[in-house]
Structure 1
Amino acid sequence: MRYLSLVLSLCVLFFLVATANGSTTKKQGKVTFLQFYMHDIVTAKHPTAVMVAKPPSRNDSFGLVMIIDDLITQGPSSSSKVLGRGQGTYMVCSLTGINLLFSFAAVLDTPEYKGTISFHGLDMLALTVREFAVTGGTGDFRSVRGYATIETQALKGLNAVLLFKVYLTY
């Protein structure tokens, strides 16, 4: 009888554990999609990307470091609605090609969103579509995670317009 009571107690315990909705259960977060354009202007009267470190006496651009304060807009034209700024750095980090390591924050200030989204990733310029990790955020984007795809929409000399499609969960 004592054995049967122990077995029944264990069965009830296992049932309760299996059906419990504890704090370790992963909850589905809020999912948000954003699309915007970032204007990286290197060669203009008022550039938004400036070289802060030159390559050490080389014939290539390996080691070049840029700091950015790029305009972020709703559409591909620089005269479209301003959503914020892209602030951070990128550097040429490849001996064999033009790969750029980006680390920057999209500082958004719109009626819909106020806060930052932090991006980090390798921009492999030979690819049509590239991908960056979303590593965090502030304000409306606190505890955000996700990724972004990047496509070059326009390229005139060293000046580029980049399309960002951002997939966020928080």
Structure 2
Amino acid sequence: MTLAANGSSKTVGTCEGTSITSSLDGLQSISIAKITLSLKHYKGSLSIVGGTHNIKPSDHPVVGGTGDFLFVQGYVTSSPVDLKGLTVVYKIEFHLYWPPYAIQESS
């Protein structure tokens, strides 16, 4: 994963997952993924599960997390940017909330 939709942009994470086609027209699927991020102030992973529409934006609930994302709540929106060829490029938007009990106090 990069900060912008080009190969020279800074790498900030990886996304590993799979999807299973769930509609007869092939445009919808059920997706599961682990997104591992290494940002300046946040390091860890998010687990997401949900339905994906292959040519429209889709929201995926966050079902778990590790590291700085432990106990985080929210969802991730994936929007297809480039559908040419075998490689698909998605824009990923994070909508995350840390409940008060999940925020670590400074030592």
TM-score (norm: length of structure 1): 0.54
Indicate yes or no: 2:43 matched with 1:80: no
State the distance in 2 between where 1:131 and 1:149 align. 4
Are 1:129 and 2:33 matched, yes or no? no
Higher RCO (CA 8 Å, separation ≥ 6 residues): 1
RMSD: 1.4
> What residue is the counterpart of 2:95 in the other structure?
167
Gap change, CA 1:159 and 1:147, over 3 Å in 2: same
The code of the aligned residue for 1:79 comes to S
**For residue 42 of structure 2, what is the aligned residue in structure 1?**
113
Deviation at residue 145 of structure 1 after TM alignment: 1.2
The structure carrying a bigger helix percent of its residues is 1
SS where residue 12 of structure 2 aligns?
A: strand
Tell me which residue corresponds to 2:69. Answer: 141
How far 1:153 sits from its partner (Å)? Answer: 1.1
- 1:79 deviates by 2.1
1:78-119 Cα offsets, whole Å, 9 max, x none, are 221000100122121223432121101111123222100111
The code of the aligned residue for 1:147 comes to Y
Q: Secondary structure at the match of 1:82?
A: coil
Task: Tell me whether 1:94 sits opposite 2:35 in the alignment.
Answer: no
Alpha-carbon displacement from aligned partner over 1:20-65 (angstroms, at most 9, x marks no partner): xxxxxxxxxxxxxxxxxxxxxxxxxxxxxxxxxxxxxxxxxxxxxx
Secondary structure of the equivalent of 1:94? coil
Distance in 2 separating the partners of 1:133 and 1:93: 18
Corresponding residue number in structure 2 for 1:39: none
TM-score computed with the length of structure 2 as normaliser: 0.82
Sort the Cα spacing of 1:169 and 1:122 in 2 relative to 1 into closer, same or farther, 3 A. Answer: same
Give the 3 Å change call, closer, same or farther, for CA 97–156 of structure 1 in structure 2.
closer
May I ask how many residue pairs the two structures share in their alignment?
Answer: 98
Identity %: 34
* CA radius of gyration, larger in: 1
The unaligned stretches of length 5 or more in structure 2 are 99-107
Q: Paired residue for 1:157? A: 85
Secondary structure of the corresponding residue to residue 140 of structure 1: helix
